[in-house]
Amino acid sequence: MGYCPPSMSSPDPILRLLIVLPSWVGDAVMATPALIRLREALPGAFIGALARPGLDHLLEGLATPEGRTVIDEFHTARASGVMGHKYTAAKLRPRRYDTALLLTGSFSTALTVRVAGIPRRVGYDRDARGVLLTRRLRPPRAAGSWAIVPAVGYYWHAASALVDPATSEALATPPLDRPDRVKTILPEGTLLSLPISDRDEQDAANVRTSAFLDPTTPFAILNPGGNNPAKRWPADRFAALADHLARAHDLTVLVNGSPAEADLCREIAEAAKSARAIPLPDHAHTLGALKVLCRDARLMVTNDTGPRHIAAALGCPLVSLFGPTDARWTSIPVRPLATGEPSERILLADPTLPPDQSANDHPDRCSIGRIAPNDVIAAADALLRQSQS
């Protein structure tokens, strides 16, 4: 039987837990260490997850190191107008959850679990939703705004607060002593994790067949998209990088993107002089296929967007480009290379920005276009050499 040690805020065992997952792909992947911790702490509890469509397939089969399935049931819902929370709550109510942990920060998700009649509701006191929570966690503030804390730390602290009554409700701010990353609160050796299912393998096989990509062909992945156009490194530079990877490393280049980014992927593939630049959205591409391709790729070069975290979870060497968003919000643990070096190189638009300032507050100084092509090529070359050592 699942158990949560008694405390003033949670006097009874947790038997049926609903986790409200983050909405974005990258955030959902960054939540995986916290999800695994919850299952390990509550081995006998029924754990459900409320997720946006697609995230259920991304995380389906997530398991502890011992092989225990983390999430017993997924509920999918997408915001749909002013009545959306009522429709979603109606789906949740029959499951009779006794506890909800909100890894989101929105008022609407807190309202949904309240309307669903879940008696214990734990989450961060943001977006004026404190009145809807039975235990309010406190994110740190700095100079009138939210302090920089890696998302993996947010999720880990929330899970800790649920299962360990000794955990403070206040989330601490990490030292900001460098502009590219901060130390997370994850235990040493804790990594992002993603399962690969038989369906994922089949999706990847379908992509390879459609793209005439031989399974023995070495390849790199370029990820030029992003939900915010300001975070996208210029398309012509990605095309030039594709040419370099083909010439210098004999790699086929897969240009990854969502269906909405298909035109961008085609633009890059067509601009590359190499005949081996393949726009993945043209080949029945899915998130499941991307997981397999990340596992098998020699390298990914990416903007600050969800596929970066998928690649990190599958151990793919990464060059990650950060423009007007501060890289420290998404500091993540990555696997070491055989040389002992980290498998991710982070390139900032302005690495000279003082560590006590946020790139988000300097959109011109930290424009992603300031990242020089030669710096990206040098980082990619170094990672490819080290990963083959």
Domains of the chain: 16-163 (3.40.50.2000), 198-387 (3.40.50.2000)
> What is d(CA 83, CA 225) in angstroms, rounded to the nearest whole number?
32
Phi-psi label, residue 267: left if phi above 0, alpha if psi -120 to 50, beta otherwise: alpha
Q: How confident is the model at residue 142 (pLDDT cuts 50, 70, 90)?
A: confident
**Which pTM was predicted?**
0.94
Q: List, in sequence order, every residue forming a beta bridge with 303; answer none if it has no partner.
A: 321
Least confident of 7-11, 46-50, 277-281: 7-11
Instruction: Report the chain's terminal Cα–Cα distance, integer Å.
Output: 47
- What percentage of the chain reaches a pLDDT higher than 90? 89
> What is d(CA 21, CA 59) in angstroms, rounded to the nearest whole number?
11
Least confident of 7-21, 230-244, 316-330: 7-21
Q: How confident is the model at residue 82 (pLDDT cuts 50, 70, 90)?
A: low
Q: pLDDT tens digits for 271-294?
A: 998 879 999 999 999 999 999 999
Residues 6+ apart with CB under 8 A from 359: 179, 322, 323, 324, 325, 326, 327, 348, 349, 350, 353, 366
pLDDT over 90 at 87, yes or no: no
Helix, strand, coil % over all residues of the chain, rounded to 5: 40, 15, 45
Q: How confident is the model at residue 145 (pLDDT cuts 50, 70, 90)?
A: confident
> What is d(CA 70, CA 92) in angstroms, rounded to the nearest whole number?
18
Q: How far is CA 232 from the centre of its chain?
A: 17
Tell me phi and psi for residue 290, to 5 degrees. -60, -40
Q: Determine contact, residues 254/280, Cβ cutoff 8 Å.
A: yes
Tell me phi and psi for residue 342, to 5 degrees. -65, 150
Residues 6+ apart with CB under 8 A from 24: 227, 306
pLDDT over 90 at 71, yes or no: yes
Find where tokens 């990619």 sit: 380
pLDDT over 60 at 148, yes or no: yes
Confidence (pLDDT) at 83: 66
Confidence (pLDDT) at 79: 62
Burial class (CB in 10 A: 0-12, 13-18, 19+), 216: exposed
Residues 74, 312, 238, 362, Cα dihedral to 10°: 90
> What is d(CA 264, CA 353) in angstroms, rounded to the nearest whole number?
30
Question: Nearest CA to 389 among 341, 339, 343, 340?
Answer: 339
pLDDT over 90 at 144, yes or no: no
Find where tokens 């499951």 sit: 95
Confidence (pLDDT) at 358: 94
Q: How confident is the model at residue 1 (pLDDT cuts 50, 70, 90)?
A: very low
